[in-house]
Amino acid sequence: MMDFTDRFCRYVHRAFTRRARLYTEMITTGALIHGQRDRLLRFDPGEHPVALQIGGSEPDDLARAAAWGEQAGYDEINLNCGCPSERVQRGAFGACLMAEPDLVADCVRAMREVVKVPVTVKHRIGLDRDESYDFVVRFVDRVAQAGCNVFIVHARNAWLQGLSPKENREVPPLRYETVYRLKRDFPSLTIVINGGLRSHEEALSQLEHVDGVMLGRAACDDPWLLARVDSRIYGAADPIDDRVQALEAIRPFLADQVLEGVSARAVLRHVMGLFNGLPGARAWRRTLSDSATLAQYGAGTLDQALARMLRT
């Protein structure tokens, strides 16, 4: 998610699950070509498996970006065809690309020609108020012909006018059955569902119909949601037993980042919701967001927040 699933978020989330695949926030081809590419592509080796999500619509530019992503060590290159923000629309990419399946196919083909890692696509099930199934079928079919085998499908339309990005995650109705139908009609493709899922039970029920589940806002709001993913979804051992153990796992990383000049807030904001619903959660959040405490204690803000929570 833009401005959220940065490298700090991903490192924090990896403390809760070893198996779930993590995705970067969308990085535009323009930023990679003209900006600080090494900084934008930087990630910790502990984040694997991790996918680079790219935004763009020029096949040659996307090919360059994909090649840089593979060289940086990413396990997957994902093309964003689902973001509905006006800023992204002005760049002629994101969700509006769904109206141009031939162009998306060209983009996928160009990326696949230069990388060996999988090239995947994240998209919506339609645009604006057109809920025609034929629209999304044509898109998936055309892009699959270009060699894309994995489609991550947000089960809502993208309304390109009149809604904010937040409203686009809430107002267009969820239509899971459309995603299930895609899986039935394209059984050889890997179909991953996204949108509105907030529990393990909901995720497991989706796996009766599709191949995978992507959690977005729910995992960011409550990272503890990821803590039993390895055992419940993958049948593997979970890396931690409790919330404090997770914090101990990220403590060295937090200290290292602060020594590099990174604000402690950049890391700690990703554990803000860790104790939601538990005694002391308000004191925990208040401490982590307090500018004076962050300025005084830096990485030590973590200990201050724990102490104040336990005293509550």
The catalytic residue positions are 83
Cα–Cα distance measured from residue 294 to residue 283, given in angstroms and rounded to the nearest whole number: 14
> In angstroms, rounded to a whole number, what is the distance separating the alpha carbons of residues 5 and 218?
12
Q: In sequence order, what DSSP letters do the residues of 108-170 get, joined into one string?
A: HHHHHTT-SS-EEEEE-SEETT---HHHHHHHHHHHHHTT--EEEEESSEE--SS--HHHHTT
For 296, the token pair is: 């005084």
Tell me how crowded residue 130 is: count the other CB atoms within 10 A of its CB.
Answer: 10
**Residue 139: both structure tokens together:** 């898109």
Q: How many CB atoms lie within 10 A of CB 264?
A: 21
Kindly list the distances between the CA atom of residue 204 and the CA atoms of 143, 207, 228, 248, 311, in Å, as whole numbers in the listed order.
28, 5, 12, 29, 37
Please tell me the distance from the alpha carbon of residue 52 to that of residue 139, in angstroms, as a whole number. Answer: 22
Tokens 């490192």 correspond to what residue? 11
Which amino acid belongs to residue 32?
A: L
The alpha carbon torsion through 9, 91, 93, 196 (nearest 10 deg) reads 50
88: enclosing H helix or E strand: helix 86-90
